[in-house]
Copies of this chain bind each other. A is one copy, B any other.
């Protein structure tokens, strides 16, 4: 996967409507009009978002049926997950430090309570 593919994925995800479309596809494939329904958007506006998602390979559109239903294609999200896993230790480390701090505070309070 090229660095540009990752940029294309992030760019496609940087929009709440496009993320809502992906969320909607987690329950199964849907037609464009089924996807448009909850957004109070014109069909061309929804089609534009679908094109961005399709170019980013985040959705696939069937070529068989005339109404071309869309389905989720999770591979680019898996690539984002792999990219982000390199950073996971940083917030885990921050929370470990916070946890240590809270434990110290609790021990201190407990000891003071025993005085």
Contact = CB atoms under 8 A, between A and B. Distances in A.
A64 interface: no
Interface in A1-55: 3-4, 6-8, 10-11, 13-16, 19, 22-23, 26
Interface residues of A, number: 30
Q: Which of A22, A87, A94 has the most CB of B within 10 A?
A: A87
Given A84-B77, A87-B74, A10 B13 contact: yes
20 contacts: A3-B19, A4-B16, A6-B19, A7-B15, A8-B14, A10-B10, A11-B11, A14-B14, A19-B83, A22-B87, A26-B86, A26-B90, A74-B87, A74-B90, A74-B91, A75-B91, A77-B84, A77-B91, A81-B81, A84-B84
